[in-house]
């Protein structure tokens, strides 16, 4: 059996270029003791992957040059040498960016395609969903009545943050996005109270107009001018959860920091970083609470689906450009 898989050939400087990558053929490895062979059906591409293309020290090891890249994936077991897993089972695992993955069974989780579409285990019921849930409720210490601002609000994480805040009793939810189409989606489908296109004017001015009484929580997926604007609108005791900073991921020079950090003294505000890996203890609670919301339609989600392993790189670049609405998924 022949496998197609993506390798990182060189570490990108600035925006990743096609020549930094290669789609190569390899022989499918048969599973050893305790392993399974999975035929991937859906792959995830996410902003954090840009950081792993760099050799800089971070919370995750960088991708190795000349070797297959990794990412979230769901697929069907072809062959199993692991107890408790049989051919035909479906698994969520981290052997993405390839058609077939031979993985240790302990590093995979069974999922039920009858309970929810397989793709949702990479999005609304997967890592992005848990990121939104844990980041809002634990990192940002959300409480009923809070006014919440979310940047990158039409993405997989941001759209869920805003909806969970509404379902949990937020007094007002504001989102920013990069197109008028996405702004309309936030208000008309996701139920945000207000939204704005950050390309249409200064973020600080648009945020003040959308939240004249200030904000209690800011969920940051963007960084840059959004973070500075949020600090400027923060109420007394406000909390900021830093999930991502997609505006600077491809920067070749250090980005300037917020110029108004002194406001945190006035507001006694708090900024805290968020990494979903620290919050997997919330997974059962997350599934128990969010699953029924998804099933009933109370929490809506979108997916942008790109077909074919050959388009995996373009799908990833699309995430960095903001092409996606909701979770970007590659269907094999």
- 123-170: per-residue pLDDT in tens? 999 999 999 999 999 999 999 999 999 999 999 999 999 999 999 999
Six-digit token pair at 256?
């300037």
Write down the pLDDT at residue 266: 96
Could you read off the pLDDT of 47-94 as tens digits, one per residue?
899 999 998 888 788 999 999 999 999 999 999 999 999 999 999 999
pLDDT at 252 over 70: no
pLDDT at 209 over 90: yes
244 pLDDT band, cuts 50/70/90, is confident
Q: What is the mean pLDDT of the chain?
A: 94
Structure tokens at 310: 């050959």
pLDDT value at position 313? 97
Can you give the three-state secondary structure of 204-262, one letter per residue? Answer: HHHHHHHCCCCEEEEEECCCCHHHHHHHHHEEEEEEEEECCCHHHCCCCCCCCCCCCCC
Question: CA-CA distance, 222 to 284, in Å (whole number)?
Answer: 28
Question: What percentage of residues in the chain have a pLDDT greater than 70?
Answer: 98
The strands making up 270-273's β-sheet, listed across from edge to edge, are: 194-197, 172-177, 147-150, 215-220, 234-242, 270-273
> Pairing mode, if any, of strands 303-307 and 21-27?
unpaired
pLDDT value at 327 more than 70: yes
Strand pairing category for 327-331 and 35-44: antiparallel
Q: Measured between alpha carbons, how far apart are the two ends of the chain, in Å?
A: 16
Q: Identify the structural domains of the chain with CATH numbers, from first to last.
A: 2-123+302-331 (3.90.180.10), 128-277 (3.40.50.720)
CA–CA separation, 136 vs 4, rounded Å? Answer: 38
Q: Which pLDDT tens digit goes with each residue over 5-55?
A: 999 999 999 999 999 999 999 999 999 999 999 999 999 999 899 999 998
């Amino acid at each position: 059996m022949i496998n197609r898989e993506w390798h990182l050939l060189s570490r990108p400087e600035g925006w990743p270029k096609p020549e930094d990558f290669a789609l190569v053929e390899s022989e499918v490895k048969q599973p050893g003791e305790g392993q399974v062979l999975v035929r991937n059906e859906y792959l995830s591409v996410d902003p954090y992957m840009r950081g792993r293309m760099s050799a800089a020290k971070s919370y995750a090891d960088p991708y190795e040059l000349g070797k297959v890249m990794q990412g979230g994936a769901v697929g069907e077991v072809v062959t199993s040498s692991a107890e408790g897993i049989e051919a035909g089972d479906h698994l969520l695992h981290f052997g993405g960016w390839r058609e077939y993955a031979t993985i240790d069974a302990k590093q995979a989780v069974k999922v039920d395609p009858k309970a929810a579409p397989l793709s949702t285990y990479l999005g609304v019921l997967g890592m992005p969903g848990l990121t939104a849930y844990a980041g809002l409720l634990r990192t940002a210490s959300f409480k009923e009545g809070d006014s919440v601002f979310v940047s990158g609000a039409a993405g997989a994480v941001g759209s869920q943050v805003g909806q969970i805040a509404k379902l949990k009793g937020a007094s007002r939810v504001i989102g920013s996005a990069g197109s008028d189409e996405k702004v309309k989606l936030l208000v008309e489908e996701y139920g945000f109270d207000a939204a704005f296109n950050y390309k249409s004017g200064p973020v600080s001015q648009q945020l003040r107009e959308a939240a004249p009484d200030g904000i209690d929580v800011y969920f940051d997926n963007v960084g840059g001018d959004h973070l500075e604007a949020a600090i400027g609108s923060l109420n007394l005791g406000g909390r900021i959860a830093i999930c991502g900073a997609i505006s600077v991921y491809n920067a070749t020079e250090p980005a300037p920091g917020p110029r108004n950090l002194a406001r945190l003294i006035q507001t006694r505000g708090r900024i805290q970083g968020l990494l979903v890996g620290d919050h997997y203890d919330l997974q059962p609670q997350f599934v128990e609470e969010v699953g029924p919301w998804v099933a009933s339609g109370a929490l809506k989600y979108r997916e942008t689906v790109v077909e074919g392993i050959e388009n995996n790189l373009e799908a990833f670049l699309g995430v960095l450009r903001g092409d996606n609405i909701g979770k970007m998924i590659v269907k094999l």
